[in-house]
Amino acid sequence: MGAAAGFRHGHLWELPDGTGLHARPGELTVEDATGRLCCHLCGRWYTSLGSHVRAHGYTAESYRAAMDLYAGEPLIARTLSASIRDRQAGRYHRSEELREVFAAGAARLRGRARDVRSRPEPAQRVNRRRAALEAGRRTVATRRAQELAARLGDMTLAEYLRSAYADGASMETLAAVTGLGRVRLRAALDDAGVAVRPVGTNTPEGRRSRALSADRAAAERVGTDDLPTWLADRHTAGWSLVRLAAAVGHSTHWVRWRLERNSAPVLRHLG
């Protein structure tokens, strides 16, 4: 009995002055089944928490401030809030006088709307939004890092960039493989010690890379693994260069060049 009398409940949270709390500060803990709210100070559940906190020496306003809640956060259960709302709505619809009072109040509020909008946003809300945004950025950064690691395998980003760029890969190819935007890609190249080629500089490797990319895109568009044969067969079957160009998503000049490159005759009457 003596041991039980000397037992003190351990609190997971506390106020700056050391007061133990039964619920996390900064939020209201809601009971799923009933919608009742948990008192931070005693841990009991209440339909009207705003009325209960007076037993702890708080007003609703001072309780919200002490527990880091939003200034206008309701301290009543959803069920009670809905009941009050329904009763007030019934009174509003039954009473013309009440509707006139509400209309006059709404007009006054509209007149003060500019003043309300010009007030600075509460620091508490600003800080919470900033924290949420920062958490979101960290989540996105982590996901991008995981996706990049999966693409590159055992290579680091710097190793891949040095190797691929030296082999003539274009900025577009590097961006597609790494998932980096142009600004972040240039920063990564700088960090890897890669000197970016001046705009307009071309290399045989780069030209081959672009040609292969164009071939792959055209082949995927028409659903074939052998684009030269596909072009030659359809041109021989009567497809014009215009029709072939529309099918593969390139110009007629590209189609003509592709046919001639693979020694396929270009039929003049179908050009």
The token pair at 249 is 């998503």
- Low-confidence winner among 96-100, 187-191, 222-226 (lowest mean pLDDT): 96-100
Dihedral over Cα of 93, 97, 100, 106: its sign: negative
Query: Are the beta carbons of 80 and 48 closer than 8 angstroms?
Result: yes
- Low-confidence winner among 120-129, 169-178, 229-238, 250-259 (lowest mean pLDDT): 120-129
Confidence at residue 5, expressed as pLDDT on a 0 to 100 scale:
40
Which residue is associated with the tokens 């079957």? 237
Residue ranges with strand state E in 25-81: 37-38, 45-46
pLDDT band at 49 (very low <50, low <70, confident <90, very high): very high
**Residue among 199, 171, 165, 195 nearest 185 (CA):** 171
Q: What is the CA radius of gyration of the chain?
A: 35
pLDDT band at 200 (very low <50, low <70, confident <90, very high): low
Q: What share of the chain is helix, strand, coil (3-state, %, to 5)?
A: 60, 5, 35
The token pair at 226 is 């052998």
37: DSSP letter: E
Question: What residues form DSSP beta bridges with 14?
Answer: 20
Asked if the model's pLDDT at residue 166 lies above 50, the reply is yes
Which residue is associated with the tokens 């270009």? 266
Confidence at residue 187, expressed as pLDDT on a 0 to 100 scale:
92
**Residue among 221, 223, 229, 264 nearest 246 (CA):** 221
- Residues 4, 211: Cα–Cα separation, whole Å: 82
**pLDDT averaged over the chain?**
83
Query: Are the beta carbons of 181 and 189 closer than 8 angstroms?
Result: no
The token pair at 11 is 């609190």
**Residue among 153, 202, 201 nearest 178 (CA):** 153
Higher pLDDT, residue 252 or 114: 252
Instruction: With residue 20 as reference, give the H or E element that holds it.
Output: strand 20-21
Neighbours of 128 (CB within 10 A): 15
In DSSP notation, 114-165 reads: HHHHHSPPPHHHHHHHHHHHHHHHHHHHHHHHHHHHHHHTTS-HHHHHHHHH
Question: What residues form DSSP beta bridges with 37?
Answer: 30, 46
Query: Are the beta carbons of 267 and 237 closer than 8 angstroms?
Result: no
Q: Distance of alpha carbon 223 from its chain centroid, rounded? A: 34
User: pLDDT > 90: what percent of the chain?
Assistant: 20
Asked if the model's pLDDT at residue 46 lies above 90, the reply is yes
Higher pLDDT, residue 165 or 9: 165
pTM comes to 0.36
Contacts of 107 (CB under 8 A, 6+ apart): none
Asked if the model's pLDDT at residue 30 lies above 70, the reply is yes
